[in-house]
Structure 1
Amino acid sequence: MIDHIIEAIEAAETIILHRHERPDPDALGSQVGLKKLIEATYKDKTVKVTGYSEPSLAFLGEMDSVTDEDYKEALVIVCDTANTPRIDDDRYTLGQTLIKIDHHPEVDLYGDISWADPSMSSTSEMIYLLATTGKKKLTVTDEAARLMYAGIIGDTGRFLYPSTTAQTLYVAAELVRFNFNRSNLYNQLYETKPAVAKLKGYLLDHLNLSEEGVTSAKLTENVLATYGVTPEETSVLVGTYGDVLGIKAWVIFVEEPNQIRVRLRSKGPHINTLAAQYNGGGHPLASGAKVKSWEEADQLVNDLKDICRAYKKSEEE
């Protein structure tokens, strides 16, 4: 599969890289990292990245200006996106060839070439393997290494999540051989604004652990306004409840214009199928979704309790 992807890259004059909406470090690390790899290896190719530019992650790279004309006979590669509705910039279908590279459980079968491997910690890990394990090696620069490393530590929670494997640690060890400032990268990824830190205190103060091991929190527009935090800035709070004894799974609802964003996390029960029922998806232990009302949010919490109740029963058996 790696060789097929490299062959497609070599055959293309123009390559346009996509990833999922509301990008996280892995989405950008894999997308922009792949751009840097291709540019360093093939000086004559035009490589562009497209999608919404997330201000809080601008240090991982800015998006390019891409016209409809750019897609003519172009190779399009979509990184880190399991289902087509989540692909940022719906022009991904305009190219000549489409490739999917992703580490989520398969949701949509799309692409002329599809490399989907849920055993991988991150799509950034896959991009490193793409660059280094095929018949044709790509040139890994310091900047490409920084981006792939950012993607890996982002999706593994700095190597704390179960998705971290021996191969993940090997790849990370290879990447830190390159010349980039890891301390600065960690600060950029994890430093918290005072307002966001205070909102974290609000979440902990409103802990409501159920007998099933579920807790939930609603960050309404009024709450966000009170603390002076935007919906986008709440993404760093998703792990707030992870260290609380007795919690099996948790959900944080974030009110946005016209919808309520859902951030789901788990310590064991699989939650990605639940997310799929609510216009979302993701990993078994880390997923996202969307609901249209607080009544629907309450129903999601009840469904999550059912999942955790069944999980606890299976543990007891």
Structure 2
Amino acid sequence: MSSLRSDSLTRSEPIDALRGVAIMAVIARHYFQFKYGMLGVDLFFVISGFLIGGILLDGREQPGYFSSFYGRRAFRILPLYWLLLVIATPEHWGYYLFFMQAVPWLQFGYPLTEPTFVTWTLAIEEQFYLILPVLIFWLPRRWLIRALWAGVLLAPVWRWLLHAYAPDLSWEFLLPGRLDELFGGVLLACYMRGYCRSKIVWGSLACVPAICDVAYAMAFSPFSFLSIAALTCCIIVWAGANMERTRLLRPFLWPGRRCYALYLFHMIVLDVFLYFDFGFYAGFIAFPIICIMAEISWRVIEAPLIGYAKTRFARAQQPAIISTAGAV
């Protein structure tokens, strides 16, 4: 792909910039009540499926497939995540250590106002990391594609069932309800590696969950349009991965490459200023502070650990498409 420049890990500026767009949308939602900011989470999940799926697809035949992937993921995710738990000390923190916070949440309710609630996305990501490497490693290509499409097509069904029989909002905050975004991103990575035999069939299948969401809303009541968001985000990621000119996206490169710390700690910083009753101005004051913190985190913690993990869990050079320092 001519739009993707290669280094030892083949970075993609457009994809990094899209992550910047995603994190800015999330922060705008929490800091400035931007109505559509949570679409940034949908974009994050699709990007994560695209990037992680690409890494695993390219490395499936290489020695150290599992150790390389999980070693790098651990050094990327765990240090800052555990630092957040030390600072915020959430209730039921023992579950958080192993990304099982959904267990007490299902029992006692979703703590929407706690700063550590943002970790619901990381819990979903970690569960995704347990499933996807096994699927890619063990399944032949044909069955892998079928399994991925099954996850995408069944995602609306899971959301309907969770909405009907699980505690409120479970459809939004548990892994089954997000499979069309995560597996959709992986399918996009497969598509860009030539796994698609029929563009018409894939395009038709991609529209099915969105049509189901619309039909359900018309027949019963407005509920969830996550499948439409998933399809839209897949189109955005595909366009970004094929983008030749990135000038308009360059302002988002910095937040895209600092998005992990921005995401994890932005609510803690905001809550400090809300606690001291800054009211309307809390978001405007908190924003430059969280940006400074993210830059310090990158230079002092994240970049050194990522560099160490690259050396410690080195893998063979891949000619393939995209990998970045980490996905949120």
TM-score by length of structure 1 reads 0.24
TM-score by length of structure 2 reads 0.24
Higher strand share: 1
Larger RCO of the pair (alpha carbons < 8 Å, separation 6+): 2
